[in-house]
Amino acid sequence: MIPITDTLSLDPADLSYGMIRAQGSGGQNVNKVSSAVHLRYDLAHAALPQWFKDAVMSLGDHRVTQAGVIIIKAQSFRSQEKNRGDALDRLLALLRTAATPAAPRHATRPTRASQRRRVQRKVAHGQTKRLRGRVQDD
C-alpha cells in the first residue's frame, strides 16, 4: 500500500501503466523507445472513502475525467523507470491536495478608507461620463 495521508492509502494493483513514445527532442531515442508513461487510476473502483472521491472529482483538474479516471502522462526523463516514478509522484501530489481540507473563510468588512476610495472612483467615473454629453451653446 502506498500512503496518501496518515489514514488513506493507495493500492498499487489499482494503477495501470501504459508505455508510449515520448514527444519532443531527443533524437533517435525518442523515435524508437517507449519511455513516456501513461498512468491511469480509476477512482470509481478504488477502495477509498466516498468523501475523498468526491473531493478529487471537485478539484476541477484536467487530468481527472468525468468518468472518474485520473490520467497522468510523464515524459520528462529519458528513462522509463524515472518517468514511472514521476507519474506516481504527481498522482500522489494530486490526491494529497484533495485530502487537505479547505481553510475556513472568515467574514470581513471593507475598511472605511476603501469604501471612501470606491465612492470617489464612482463619482469620478460618473463625471467623465457626464462630460461625454452634448456641448450646450450659450
* CATH code at position 50: 3.30.160.20
- Please say whether the beta carbons of 35 and 77 come within 8 A: yes
State the burial class of residue 30 (Cβ atoms within 10 Å of its Cβ: 0-12, 13-18, 19+). middle
Count structural domains, the chain.
1
Q: Which three cell numbers stand for residue 79?
A: 528513462
Domain assignment of residue 23, yes or no: yes
Domain assignment of residue 108, yes or no: no
pTM of the model: 0.66
pLDDT in tens, the chain (138 residues): 887 777 877 877 888 888 887 776 666 666 666 778 888 888 888 888 888 788 888 888 778 888 878 888 888 887 778 888 898 898 888 888 888 888 899 999 999 999 999 999 999 999 999 989 888 777
| Residue 112 identity | R
Q: Report the C-alpha gap between 94 and 1 in whole angstroms.
A: 17
Residues spanned by the domain of 34: 2-99
Domain assignment of residue 67, yes or no: yes
Q: Report the C-alpha gap between 111 and 116 in whole angstroms.
A: 9
Domain assignment of residue 10, yes or no: yes
